[in-house]
A = this chain, B = another copy of it.
Amino acid sequence: MGSIDANPAAFAAFGAAGVDDGFQPLNAEDVRSYLHKSVDFIYDYYKNVESLPVLPGVEPGYLRRLLQSVPPTSSAPFDIAMKEVREAVVPGMTHWASPNFFAFFPSTNSAAAIAGELIASAMNTVGFTWQANPAATEMEVLALDWLAQLLRLPASFMNRTAGGRGTGGGVILGTTSEAMLVTLVSARDAALRRIGSDGVAGITRLTVYAADQTHSTFFKACRLAGFDPANIKSIPTGADTDYGLDPAKLLEIMEADVAAGLVPTYICATVGTTSSNAVDPVGAIADVAAVFNAWVHIDAAYAGSACICPEFRHHLDGVERVDSISMSPHKWLMTCLDCTCLWVRDTHRLTDSLETNPEYLKNDASESGTVTDLKDMQVGVGRRFRGLKLWMVMRTYGSAKLQEHIRSDVAMAKMFEESVRADDRFEVVVPRNFALVCFRIKPQGAMTEEDAEEANRELMERLNRTGKAYLAHTAIGGKFVLRFAVGSSLQEERHVRSAWELIKKTTTEIIKGEM
């Protein structure tokens, strides 16, 4: 692509244009026609995605070689765009929807969620204030209260309690990172007020804490909020706590910090870490935090969904003593991206830091104090109608099916785990808590620890090159470990079995030294 001056095509129409009333970008007939074509595409995609390589074999820059580098001047039939999607986009996709996808965490999805997202994108409303869209605001609040009930969150986190409106509430955000950021900022500002800081001068004294297994995005969110890098404490964990945060160690570090004149401000506890699904002990952490008046946030992005099942709910025990909790239905609750739910016990602590009140958004409803303006619980102002898809998932499937979905994934992961344990060449590195199995080829015979490291890397690379499975890795206790995350929405037991057969076969080849 050259500079614009060398490629003036994009501007060729200027001068010839004039106003033409005939262009109707949202003509209902066109919308219906384009969407029907899209639905046909999606139907074919879901029917065929199993046979596509999960991880594509494309090289960086591949797409630019297939599509034009200069934007077209003229309009083209929608079929042209669809043809390019089929021929250029699909072959370069990493297919998260594939039943052979076992990497990261699955982005689970459902017919009801996609329908909800579609309707929301067509209505295209911006519910920054209640008045700007009462239905979108109230639907979001309702969906959050429903999900809070499924999670058995205490009434103090709900928008509406039996006794009327409480101080708690929730908001749907884009990602966990945003949930961390807004709560960090709220805790920061509260701590600055508490220590009587002159403006932000006191920020250098504020400290935040999390286990070293906490998602990297937490440490980034702390930096975004202006915390001093030296005061962002990553607390070492080990096999002794299955990589969960040790509350005694936390207490010790916080006490030392206070002795050094620092101000413990925020602790992030994770229920189901990305690396290995470790679980920090929520209740014990809340008890430690209470000593210092520090904010406790629970990041249950992935495993929070499992907590709708009573047999997993104990991982949230103590939640009634924390300040905020977030989880992402876009991970494991069949709600397409993006949808992260944040609940706080005292919404005023968020709005104190996040409220804005420009003249052009003022309205009687907001000033009455009887409504929730969700813009005051997030980073930005604009917001999609995300509550619709989340509500549609719960409304259509009901809690029994949602629980069944979680249990089916866990059962498949358990089956995989048992297969791994039954094969002497492998080890399960940490206990499986949910639907993620962390395993590796263990040193055996003449194989050293270094050889095993190399064999595991080789295993992952060979598996991923086949296109028949995609696994990601992590490091646990300094070792290279494969992550097998069950739960892609099209996945069935046969896919897990096939992947396991492929893993065994490939391992045999590697151990035999074959190519």
Contacts and interface: CB of A to CB of B under 8 A. Distances in A.
Interface in A181-227: 181, 185, 188, 199-201, 203-204, 215-217, 219-221, 223-227
B93 A133 contact: yes
Interface in A113-168: 113-115, 117-119, 121-127, 130-136, 138-139, 142, 145-147, 149-150, 152, 154-155, 158, 160-162
A146 to B, nearest CB: 4
A379 interface: yes
Given A60-B130, A74-B400, A92 B2 contact: no
A12 B150 CA distance: 11
Nearest to A490: B26
Contact of A123 (B96, B123, B384, B492): B96
Nearest to A136: B93
B123 A121 contact: no
A38 B382 contact: no
The 3 nearest A-B residue pairs measured at CB:
A226-B226, A177-B380, A175-B380
A37 interface: yes
Given A60-B370, A64-B160, A370-B60, A111 B31 contact: yes
Contact of A75 (B230, B231, B400): B400
A452 interface: no
24 contacts: A1-B160, A3-B161, A10-B149, A17-B403, A21-B492, A23-B404, A25-B405, A35-B115, A64-B142, A64-B160, A72-B398, A78-B112, A93-B133, A93-B136, A118-B121, A126-B337, A174-B174, A175-B381, A176-B382, A199-B204, A216-B357, A216-B381, A224-B225, A337-B382
A77 B379 CA distance: 36
A175 B121 contact: no
A462 to B, nearest CB: 14
Nearest to A389: B121
B408 A67 contact: no
A328 B344 CA distance: 30
Contacts of A7: 149
B380 A176 contact: yes
A493 B22 CA distance: 12
A433 interface: no
B60 A365 contact: yes
B114 A223 contact: no
Interface stretch (A41-49, A240-248, A252-260): A41-49
A38 B115 contact: yes
Contact of A109 (B26, B310, B354): B26
A396 B109 contact: no
A80 B108 CA distance: 23
Contact of A67 (B142, B380, B472): B142
A110 interface: yes
Residue of A21, A25, A220 most packed against chain B (CB within 10 A): A25
